Structure 1
Amino acid sequence: MSARLRVAIASYGPNQFALISTTLAAFGHEPTVYLMSRSMRPNTPPEPDVFDGIAATISAIPAGIGLLLPSGPADLYPMMSGFAVDLLVVFGFNWRIPDDVIFAPRHGTLNIHPSLLPRYRGPSPIPWAIRNGDKELGVTIHRMTETMDGGPILTQASVGDLPEVVSHADTWRMMQSGLPALLGDAISRALEGDEGIPQSEEAVSDAPFPPAEWNEISWNQSRWDAHNQIRVFRFLHGSAGPVVELDGRRIQILRTSLSERRGPVVQCADGPLWISDHAPA
């Protein structure tokens, strides 16, 4: 049995905190305090969805666990220092975490990133995986350093296959299924003094926030690219699809196929793409 750690968790919503917290407890560790940003950008009023997330987290937080709501990154170190944690686990925190916080716990800070790093460093790895037509969702747990998503890797694996129509519920189910074992392994390695495997800088790809041009469909690209652009649009916008004009009508494209189907067809740069599901705009 490994040493019992006092662990701080930095994340963004009740489901995320609960998954990490219950996993830590299952491996014999003590979730001590939650850190949650008060807004998407430091030192600004909370956005409505952030405010809703804070309220839901307060309602769900277990007894005995503290909750810190810093207004900006400079607040993190003085607020967290009183809890004397052994480890910080980060899962989707909204701000860049200062170095004094990263290196304060005696076992350091672990970051959970939903990609197979060094592929897709940045804030939007899952949308980029869908946009590029990746077949699976990967998760990496690495030591956090000064380089965003660039620290040495402790463990990583695929947690599931990405379906043709991908929803946030799909990717969350994959995380729920695959993350606990990975986190338990990463913490065990950290306790053993494993520094992790350095990432290959030559293999890095970036995953910035989705660009505005993803909202505009062009048939001048390849069939594969157009097909995946429509898939990621639906992932980002729920059940909606991009609006195009076809045969004098404006329609929402909900799903396309690379193989022949009944229904409208458009010509892309390298051949036909079939519109297998659509709705009036």
Structure 2
Amino acid sequence: MTAPGTARDIPPLRVAVVAALPQTAPPLVEAVRALGHEVPVVIGSRRPADWPGHVLGEQDLPPGVDLAVPSRPEAVAALLRAYAPDAAVSYGYPRKLPADAVSAPRLGTVNCHPSALPSYRGPNPVGWAVRNGEREIGVTWHRMDADLDTGAVLARTTIPLDDAMWSFTGVNARVLEAASAMLPQVLRRLVRGDAGEPQPQRDGSWAGFFGADYAAVDWSAPAVRIHTQVRAWNIAGHHPRIEGPVAVIDGTHWRLRRTALEQPPAGTGRRIACGTGDLWVLAADALG
């Protein structure tokens, strides 16, 4: 007998993974395969010209898993149909999938979004959660539809958003752990044709990229507000157009990477007097 909470009470599936980063695709592939399903292909994405890191490469994937990199979103549907997956799971894909791509797998496509939908829809949910002082974030698996982050929910949970979280990579690891634990339930509901729970009929909130109004550090602001700003930008990760948070220290512009509200060990960091309280700059990059 199969234990509750596993996915081995459903037949083995062919599951395509739609994910573009080396931090996201391999763990998701591993989670699907650990449940006894086959991952024939990962749909990746071309590296944007301004992207500072590397995108997913074939060397990041285990043997037997192909990497397909479409030239444009309109090509995703044909790629999925070529591999004939039963289902597709998406995580952090940088482009909106067209409707024909979402419906290409036999059982449909599901997406994991790091928020308690319908709150914080969009590309920067965790950054906005930090900016707004949230102490936890949601992790939601939902069916994908023609709009962005609006489909019916198949599984959800919450995880702490504690002060120790300072990077996209760190948050991503915790989100994927929670998401992987819910995969058996998600795949089971897909196989059974379960439509899922429609998102609440209240307006959701949008979590877009931070704008220029949040990019510059104002040292006359309270130290805790600046500290939150630095943490929010670093968790949000790469912005396609705007760099932040940028501060002027001794006439030089710096992108702040890490700050502290309490005095660090002697010889560590630079103390800055703010509008209310002191802030210690622990790591920063000089900008040309």
TM-score by length of 2: 0.79
Task: Determine the C-alpha separation between the residues in 1 that align with 2:62 and 2:272.
Answer: 53
The yes-or-no answer on 1:211 pairing with 2:211 is: yes
The one of 32, 39, 47 aligned to 2:40: 32
What runs of 5+ residues in structure 1 fail to find an aligned partner?
A: 41-45
Change (3 A) 1:219 1:159: same
Alignment of 1:1-281 (within 5 A): 1-40=9-48, 49=52, 52-54=54-56, 57-164=57-164, 166-218=166-218, 225-236=225-236, 242-244=246-248, 254-257=258-261, 264-267=272-275, 272-277=276-281
Deviation at 1:189, TM superposition (A): 1.9
Aligned residues: 264
Task: Determine the C-alpha separation between the residues in 2 that align with 1:74 and 1:264.
Answer: 50
Tell me if the contact between 2:121 and 2:149 (Cα under 8 Å) persists in the aligned partners.
yes
- The sequence identity of aligned pairs, in percent, is 29
Task: Determine the C-alpha separation between the residues in 2 that align with 1:77 and 1:108.
Answer: 12
- SS of 1:158's equivalent in the other structure is strand
Task: Determine the C-alpha separation between the residues in 1 that align with 2:220 and 2:197.
Answer: 41
Deviation at 1:150, TM superposition (A): 0.6
Task: Determine the C-alpha separation between the residues in 2 that align with 1:237 and 1:109.
Answer: 26
Deviation at 1:8, TM superposition (A): 0.8
Bigger helix fraction: 1
Deviation at 1:143, TM superposition (A): 0.3
TM-score by length of 1: 0.81
Deviation at 1:242, TM superposition (A): 3.8
Amino acid at match of 1:25: R
What runs of 5+ residues in structure 2 fail to find an aligned partner?
A: 1-8, 239-243, 263-270
Tell me if the contact between 1:265 and 1:273 (Cα under 8 Å) persists in the aligned partners.
yes
**C-alpha offsets along residues 197-247 of structure 1, whole Å, 9 cap, x if unaligned?**
111242411011121222212367676644421322344579x964245xx
Tell me if the contact between 1:35 and 1:67 (Cα under 8 Å) persists in the aligned partners.
yes
